[in-house]
Each structure stands twice: as C-alpha cells, then as structure tokens.
Amino acid sequence: MSMILIVDDDSNSLWLLQVVLEGRGHHVMLADDGQQALEMASRWLPDVIVTDWNMPRMDGDVLCERLKCYPALALIPVIMTSARPPPLDRSGLWNFFLRKPVDIEALAATVDLLVTKRLGNNSIRSHCGVVPQCRWAPEAVKYWA
C-alpha cells in the first residue's frame, strides 16, 4: 500500500483528498502546514506529497525547498496546488503543479502515476548520489540555475 502525505491548511480540502485517495487504495496522512509535513515526511517517508502553496508557519514552496536538502526526502515526488500561477524560477522544486480549484480526477490520476513510477523503481537510492552518514543530515543541494 502506498503512503500519501496531503498538506493543506483548509480542512475541507484535506478531507476531500483523503476520501478520494483512500478510495483508490492509498494510505493517507494529513498535515495542516509545511512544518508539520516536514516532520511527518522525515518520520514516515511517504511515496508522494500533495501540498498547497499558501499555508501558515511554512508554505508549500519552502516545504519543497527543505525536502530537497535531505537525501532521504529529496526524491519524494511532490504535487503542488495553488490558485495562483507558479513562478517559473521555482518550478524545479515540485514534479507537478495543479491550479485550484483542483480537478480531483486529474489529481488522483497524477498521484497514481507518481506512485507507480516510484514503487516500480527499485534502485531509487542509487539516484541519490553519495549516501549520507545519517539519513537526516542535510546536504547542500543546488536546484536552480
């Protein structure tokens, strides 16, 4: 069973996405801001993260930035959602961007696609490059040109 982390400060959005994705056979964890999501991701290593952009404490953009600093979290695919258009200079931080209001079927299909790719890649650790001494040790990552 795949594990999906959904991050949004809107409880109605969390509930809706949880119902849809659990209905498709995924185990779903919920976080209401980026800080909580980062803590949960480091503890449970989800297969996919779906995050809103605008949230208190830590928004989705900063969450994606922080995920890239940890080798164990850097390869988790991320779907960013927002009502505003994404900045082109930051688009390398996430795998897919969906505008709100999100087409639920498109989001669920994207999650399924990312899970299939991630679980089908048995050599996922080999793409990390140098194996860190500790999986929590941050690594300087340059992700923009």
- What pLDDT, in 10s, does the model give residues 113-140? 999 998 887 544 444 444 444 445 555 5
Model pLDDT, residue 138: 54
Tens digit of pLDDT for each residue in 65-123?
A: 999 999 999 999 999 999 988 877 787 899 999 999 999 999 999 999 999 998 887 54
**Helices 11-23, 104-120: crossing angle, 10 deg rounding:** 60
User: Is 62 a residue whose pLDDT tops 50?
Assistant: yes
User: Are the C-beta atoms of residues 141 and 68 closer than 8 Å to each other?
Assistant: yes
Q: Which CATH fold topology does 3-121 show? A: Rossmann fold (3.40.50)
What 108-117 contacts at long range (C-beta under 8 Å, 24+ apart), as own/partner pairs, is 108/20, 108/21, 108/24, 110/79, 111/4, 111/21, 111/24, 111/26, 111/48, 111/50, 111/79, 112/24, 114/47, 114/48, 114/77, 114/79, 115/2, 115/4, 115/26, 115/47, 115/48, 117/77
Rounded to two decimals, what is the model's pTM? 0.82
